[in-house]
Amino acid sequence: MKYSKATNYALHTIAYLGLLPSGKAIGVKPLAEIQKVSPTYLSKVLTTLVKAGLIVSAPGVKGGYRLIKGVEDITFLDVVQAVEGLNPLFHCSLDNHVHDNENCFIQQTMNEAEKKMEDHLHSQTIAQVLKKIDQRVSDYLKSEAG
Amino acid sequence: MKYSKATNYALHTIAYLGLLPSGKAIGVKPLAEIQKVSPTYLSKVLTTLVKAGLIVSAPGVKGGYRLIKGVEDITFLDVVQAVEGLNPLFHCSLDNHVHDNENCFIQQTMNEAEKKMEDHLHSQTIAQVLKKIDQRVSDYLKSEAG
DNA sequence: ATATTATAGACTCATCGAATCTACAATAAA
DNA sequence: TTTATTGTAGATTCGATGAGTCTATAATAT
């Protein structure tokens, strides 16, 4: 079981968009270059984020992608679910007259565990990531000066 | 992203083995029938549990599979990791001179979230599942009597 | 009008989950 | 010691899906 590469691209792109001046858009080409992925494929990933309502796109000159909400209002869960979908990770396939995935206690436990992960992803915003990056850069500059 | 069916078979088989009288083994055939899966395939799944040290197997007449530890000492995490492996769910593939998956804050956050799920899986034992089943049966019998 | 940009859809390719089949090894019972 | 029974290993198959390409099309600023 693994997260798809698309989730990786989506998260990094969202973080990058969060670094842009508010309202400013950027095309898929530079985003693709940074992440060493083809523009057409990254575009496909970003289109799913558009449909999920996390970013907006505009065609034509001066077009590209930009965030809708502030980075403090975008959680990891938003991005992950937009790309990975909403189906439970685990599915009890044992099905008979006294047991199905509705009443399976194993299923219940696996769902609870998944929920813990989701809760954490929901508590973490893109803003927090950007803040950590800021902090690292600032620390680095300080160490250079000292 | 989804858990494999093998994980589903593994968890249900372990739970079933936990219902047997202590020390008693059972062959793969009945286990496979219950779960509506081929014996050879289930056998392959169970062999990974043997290698993980969760169950033991014996060939020949009166052979089969049985638990090593008590059900209160077998956690969901034990079973899940035996089947799914230990690799992190998320992998930051952005790699340049200032960024790799070692120092990626997105990677860190995704790891934390995964850890929350693992913590829950570690806190839940097979014994707890069996107890819930007991409780359900007992409740059912009571409702029949009343 | 034209260059630029995103979108859609068909398509390809590799990987991997899921399962089968067969041969083999180990063990208990006859 | 033979024989039936059971698990193990390896090769192989099949299908689904992740990952990515390619091309045509639509929208927009200049």
State the DSSP H helix or E strand holding residue A50, giving kind and residue range, or none if neither.
helix A39-51
With cut-offs at 50, 70 and 90, classify the pLDDT of residue B99. confident
Write the DSSP symbol of residue B67.
E
Closest-lying nucleotide for A47 based on CA to C1': C7
In B44-73, the residues whose Cβ lies within 8 Å of chain A are: none
pLDDT in tens, A74-117: 999 999 999 999 999 999 999 888 888 889 999 999 999 999 99
CATH 3.20.20.70 fits A5-145, yes or no: no
- Picking from A11, A84, A119, the nearest residue to B1 by CB comes out as A84
The b/e string for B40-71 (b: 16+ C-beta within 10 A; e otherwise) is eebbebbeebeeeebbebeeeeeebbbbeeeb
Residue closest to B65 by CA, chosen among B39, B83, B84: B39
By C-alpha distance, the chain A residue nearest B81 is: A1
Q: How far is the CA of B58 from the C1' of D2 (A)?
A: 21
pLDDT in tens, A35-76: 999 999 999 999 999 999 999 999 999 999 999 999 999 999
User: Is residue A66 a contact partner of residue A26, using CB atoms and an 8 Å limit?
Assistant: yes
- Report yes or no: B2 at the A interface, CB cutoff 8 Å: yes
Those nucleotides of strand C lying less than 7 Å from any protein Cβ are 3-9, 17-22, 25-29
Check residue B54 and give its pLDDT: 98
Is A140's pLDDT higher than 90? no
Q: Which amino acid is at B24?
A: K
Q: In chain B, what are the domain boundaries?
A: 5-145
Percent of chain B scoring above 90 in pLDDT: 84
Pairing of strands B55-58, B64-67: antiparallel
Is B53's pLDDT higher than 80? yes
Check residue A99 and give its pLDDT: 85
Q: Note the pTM of the prediction, 2 decimals.
A: 0.94
Q: How far is the CA of B121 from the C1' of C24 (A)?
A: 38
Tally the C-alpha atoms within 13 A of residue B131's C-alpha that lie toward its C-beta. Answer: 7
State the DSSP H helix or E strand holding residue B57, giving kind and residue range, or none if neither.
strand B55-58
Check residue A132 and give its pLDDT: 95
Q: How far is the CA of A116 from the C1' of D16 (A)?
A: 29
Cβ A119–B116 below 8 Å, yes or no? yes
Residue B141 and residue B31: Cα distance in Å, rounded? 26
User: Is residue A65 a contact partner of residue A55, using CB atoms and an 8 Å limit?
Assistant: yes
Going by C-beta distance under 8 Å and a sequence separation of 6 or more, which residues neighbour residue A29?
Answer: A39
